Amino acid sequence: MSRLTGLGQRLYNGKASFNIVGRRKTWYIVSSCILLVAIGSLLIRGLNLGIEFRGGADFSIPNATCSVEQARTVAETKTASQAIVTVSGNGTIRVQTEPISTAESTVLAKSLATTCGVSVDQIKIQVVGPSWGSEISKKALQGLVVFLILVALFMSIYFEWRMAAAGLIALAHDLIITVGLYSLFGLEVTPATVIGILTILGFSLYDTVVVFDKVKENTRNITGQSMLTYSEAANLAVNQTLVRSINTSIVALLPVLAIIIVGAGLLGASTLLDLAVALAVGMASGAYSSIFVATPFLVQLKEKQPAMIALSSRVHARRGQAAKKTGAAGDDSESSGQILTTLEDAGQRQQPKKLPRSKRPKNY
């Protein structure tokens, strides 16, 4: 623990620094590879949709005494179609059939109850019409679009459009990875999964907002100095919030892990478990993307601004001079190779000089 605190300390004052923004190509390649796998899997394997999306009937028989084969035989003779029968850790047998009517489902539930030695009201029955899934998906998609528009607006007003764009890219990144993982491992997609994925929307952006808030703070009046380029200021912000990001991710994942443990141990497959798996993947991906995707992407957008290009060349010019000076004086060269310069050089930043209003660049 204290090691993490110590690291936090060094990260904060810049003594220890991970060059996250500068090595953005590495992260982009890593992310692209994961995204390619995710998208490829989605295209080739597709998603294993639960009965809520396909339509069908689902019977959960707790403490069943019958075998999987017996249950399947009963289900297939009664419905004259294929049935999927699975058994979960706590002895609950789950039978899934093609779409059937309510009356048929009652008949089948009774037969299953007799075969498996439980009373019929112990069985959890769910019968879903085929149109329900498209209804849910449509609503989820509507919700997604409305949310994205609102978030883009909010972030454009609170930060700026570049941050909104970078935040949304990170969000898309998280969503695709989560959905891709479901496809890759053939996990069943239920409405609870959809809930989980929609929650990631909020969570991924929450993380990004916290990092961006620090970036915003660090880059206030950045054009009024020539010590740091935008990339460096942003990198410092990422490093300064790194400990928080790690802590937050751990704290957010702990309850989700609790759900997974309890859900898998006590309930077998359930709403809780479906939800938690989607959340765990999305949260992990959200923590990664807020640091390694959102901020580098933001920097890329920002560095295209004329004011930032000018700043960058000023900073480099100044560093060149400083390097010459220290080289001539034969001083230790600690400062020359470093991103951050020593405090003696930092006098400018304490009292930033502003350009007169008339001479300021357009995007000041």
Partner 1 sequence: MAAPHSASRPLRSLVALGVLIIGLAVWAFFPNTEHNVKLGLDLQGGTQVILIPKPVQAGKEITDEQLQQTVTILRQRVDSLGVAEAEVTTQGSGAGAAIVVSVPGASPERLVDLVQRTALLDFRPVYTVLAPSASVAKGEVKGTKPVQAAALDTAFQKAVVALDCTNPASYSGGTPDDPTLWLGTCTKDGAAKYVLQPAFIKGTNVTSATAALPQNGVGWVVNLGFDSEGASALAEASTTLSKLPDCSTGGPSPCNAFAIVLDGIVSSAPRFNEPIIGGTAQIEGNFNAEAANDLANILKYGALPVTLEAVDITSVSATVGGDQLRAGIIAGLLGLGLVMIYLLLYYRVLGLVAIFSLVIAAGVTYLTFIVMSKSIGLTLTLAGVAGAIVAIGITADSFIVYFERIRDEMRDGRSFRQACESGWIRARRTLLAADFISLLAAVVLYMLSVGGVRGFAFVLGLTTVIDVVVAFLFTYPITVLLGRSRLLQAGSRWTGLDTQKPNKAGPIGVTETIASRRRKAKESQEEVSS
Using CB under 8 A as the binding rule, the residues of this chain from 100 to 119 that contact partner 1 are: 100-107
Residues 6+ apart with CB under 8 A from 286: 170, 174, 200, 203, 204, 207, 208, 249
* 157 interacts with partner 1 by CB under 8 A: no
For partner 1, the binding residues in 289-328 under the rule CB under 8 A are none
Q: Which segment (1-9, 27-35, 69-77, 311-319) binds partner 1 by CB under 8 A?
A: 1-9
Q: Which segment (27-35, 124-132, 305-313, 324-332) binds partner 1 by CB under 8 A?
A: 124-132
- Select 39 or 176, whichever has its Cβ closest to partner 1: 176
Q: How far is the CB of 179 from partner 1 (least distance, A)?
A: 16
Q: Which segment (27-35, 321-329, 342-350, 356-364) binds partner 1 by CB under 8 A?
A: 342-350
- List the alpha helices (DSSP H) in the chain: 2-13, 24-44, 51-54, 68-79, 102-116, 130-158, 161-184, 191-218, 230-240, 242-262, 271-289, 295-302, 306-329, 347-350
What is the C-alpha separation between 296 and 309, in angstroms, rounded? 16
Of 82, 107, 112, residue with least CA distance to 94? 112
For partner 1, the binding residues in 161-200 under the rule CB under 8 A are 191-192, 194-195, 198-199
Q: Which segment (32-40, 65-73, 121-129, 322-330) binds partner 1 by CB under 8 A?
A: 121-129
- Select 276 or 291, whichever has its Cβ closest to partner 1: 276
What is the C-alpha separation between 127 and 247, in angstroms, rounded? 42
What is the C-alpha separation between 188 and 326, in angstroms, rounded? 63
Q: How far is CA 137 from the centre of its chain?
A: 20
Q: Which of 30, 46, 91, 158 binds partner 1 (CB under 8 A)?
A: 158
The position carrying tokens 């479906």 is 274
Contact 261, 85 (CB under 8 A): no
For partner 1, the binding residues in 24-83 under the rule CB under 8 A are 52, 60, 62
- Select 69 or 121, whichever has its Cβ closest to partner 1: 121
* 213 interacts with partner 1 by CB under 8 A: yes
For partner 1, the binding residues in 126-155 under the rule CB under 8 A are 126-129, 131-132, 135-136, 138-140, 142-143, 146-147, 150-151, 154
* 252 interacts with partner 1 by CB under 8 A: yes
Residues 6+ apart with CB under 8 A from 308: 223, 229, 230, 302
Q: How far is the CB of 36 from partner 1 (least distance, A)?
A: 28
- 3 state DSSP class of 98: coil
Q: Which of 42, 184, 267, 322 binds partner 1 (CB under 8 A)?
A: 267
